[in-house]
């Protein structure tokens, strides 16, 4: 900081202060540094103005002016310019200022206009003006800087417009097809898994023991259900179809043997499992062959009716003059010839055809349920039948309730008519 700075002028100098002499012309011999100069205006209290003070030494410490509350006193005059020393021949980074014009009137710049009082609100430090020497370079650099380029992805090709879709719909006779979807970018390939990650993924993909067990139990139940369904289908449907085929075959064989003069039908003349008669129940629309014996596999399961003709259960034949002709048959499955015998009423006909004659019985009574061990129902004079003396009777036995073999159902009948085959069918079959 120099003593000639305009910010360090005396406060309220005397009015009769003589102006400083004009600076010498550019290039004139300057006074050596430190030469005696005119004493500066006194500083300090303006009330003590006019009192001579000793010259003050230069203040070398950094100047940090304190806030004095406001600039209320205007500068009256300006200090005169100090003599400009000769230019240093050394390197200079700034362009030298032009030489001042001696003829310029410095008196016009001696007094500055009054400075308004500072109120601390509206005044702000003025912005520093830009350097004139670098303004052109900055302007040139700003103008030459290229604008940032925004990189954008290529847009997908536009689809057909609304008018085109309507025309296409009219040509096809329907609504306009939706615009094709924009192509999706290909997925980014995933990085391969490490060995540890692959093991963890494989371990996580395996099912736990509980899942495997529940799945096995579920599959077992499903298999069992399917097997049961197939078994029921076999019992209720397929066995009847198969029994119908076998009974038709057995009936044809019986009729052929009659035409060829086969067995006469005397007791003991038929082998077990061999058919010898045909039974008709007109009310139930039943026509079934009668075979010797009550074997389940050889007779009953083939859809035929079995005659009790073996061992102590041996009963009479239709041609006998007295006795109880007793037969057995399935109520359910395997042809089920006796399924609806519980619907028979007293007087309903039951016809048995042999090689020589037709034997017509009339239904008399029914025993809805009895134990399988009750063999007295097939005695020559069956008990619980209502018969009291020997005669020519018929007994039908089957299982009950339906689809079980817990008990036996018994139906009895008594012979009402015997007609030779040569005379034709009886009235019960003709009507």
Within 309-402, where are the H helices? none
Please indicate whether residue 307 is annotated as part of the active site: no
Q: Which residues make Cβ contacts (< 8 Å) with residue 352, sequence separation at least 6?
A: 277, 278, 279, 280, 290, 318, 325, 358, 359, 361, 394
Write out the DSSP string of 143-161: HHSPPPPPP-PPPPPP---
Please indicate whether residue 331 is annotated as part of the active site: no
Report DSSP state, residue 343.
G
Rg, C-alpha atoms of the chain = 70
Q: Which of 250, 299, 367, 399 is catalytic?
A: 399
> How many of the other CB atoms lie within 10 Å of CB of 356?
15
Please tell me the distance from the alpha carbon of residue 383 to that of residue 371, in angstroms, as a whole number.
13
Please tell me the distance from the alpha carbon of residue 415 to that of residue 393, in angstroms, as a whole number.
6
Report DSSP state, residue 332.
S
Q: Which of 79, 307, 330, 419 is catalytic?
A: 330
Task: Decide: 293 and 299 in contact? Cβ < 8 Å.
Answer: yes
Please tell me the distance from the alpha carbon of residue 384 to that of residue 401, in angstroms, as a whole number.
20
Distances (CA, A) of 328 to 96, 288, 294, 308, 336: 146, 12, 7, 8, 11
Output the CA angle 315-316-317, nearest 5 degrees.
125
- Please identify every residue annotated as catalytic: 330, 399
């Amino acid at each position: 900081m120099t003593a000639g700075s305009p910010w360090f002028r005396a406060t309220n100098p005397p009015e009769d202060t003589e102006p400083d002499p004009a600076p010498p012309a550019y290039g004139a011999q300057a006074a050596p540094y430190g030469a005696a100069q005119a004493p500066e205006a006194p500083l300090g209290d303006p009330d003590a103005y006019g009192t001579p003070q000793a010259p003050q030494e230069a203040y070398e410490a950094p100047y940090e002016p304190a806030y004095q509350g406001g600039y209320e006193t205007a500068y009256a005059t300006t200090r005169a310019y100090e003599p400009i020393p000769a230019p240093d021949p050394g390197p200079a980074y700034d362009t030298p200022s032009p030489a001042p014009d001696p003829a310029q009137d410095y008196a016009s710049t001696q007094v500055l206009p009054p400075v308004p009082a500072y109120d601390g609100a509206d005044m702000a430090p003025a912005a520093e003006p830009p350097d004139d020497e670098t303004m052109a370079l900055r302007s040139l650099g700003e103008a030459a800087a290229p604008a940032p380029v925004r990189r954008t992805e290529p847009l997908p090709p536009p689809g057909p417009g609304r008018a085109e879709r309507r025309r296409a719909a009219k040509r096809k006779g329907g609504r306009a097809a939706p615009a094709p979807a924009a192509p999706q970018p290909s997925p980014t390939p995933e990085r391969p898994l490490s060995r540890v990650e692959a093991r963890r993924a494989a371990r996580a993909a395996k099912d736990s023991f509980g899942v495997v067990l529940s799945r096995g139990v579920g599959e077992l139940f499903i298999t069992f259900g399917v097997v049961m369904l197939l078994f029921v289908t076999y019992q209720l449907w397929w066995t009847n179809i198969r029994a119908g085929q076998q009974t038709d075959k057995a009936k044809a064989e019986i009729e052929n043997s009659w035409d060829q003069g086969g067995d006469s039908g005397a007791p003991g003349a038929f082998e077990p499992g061999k058919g010898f008669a045909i039974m008709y129940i007109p009310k139930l629309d039943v026509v079934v062959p009668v075979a010797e014996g009550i074997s389940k596999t050889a007779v009953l399961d083939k859809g035929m009716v079995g005659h009790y003709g073996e061992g102590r259960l041996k009963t009479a034949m239709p041609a006998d003059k007295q006795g109880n002709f007793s037969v057995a048959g399935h109520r359910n499955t395997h042809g089920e010839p006796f399924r609806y015998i519980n619907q028979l009423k007293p007087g309903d006909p039951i016809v048995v055809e042999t090689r020589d004659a037709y034997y017509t019985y009339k239904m008399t009574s029914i025993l809805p349920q009895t134990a399988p061990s009750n063999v007295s129902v097939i005695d020559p004079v069956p008990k619980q039948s209502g018969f009291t003396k020997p005669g020519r009777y018929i007994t039908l036995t089957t299982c009950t309730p339906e689809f079980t073999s817990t008990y036996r159902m018994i139906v009895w009948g008594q012979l009402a008519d015997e007609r030779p085959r040569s005379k034709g069918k009886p009235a019960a079959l003709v009507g």
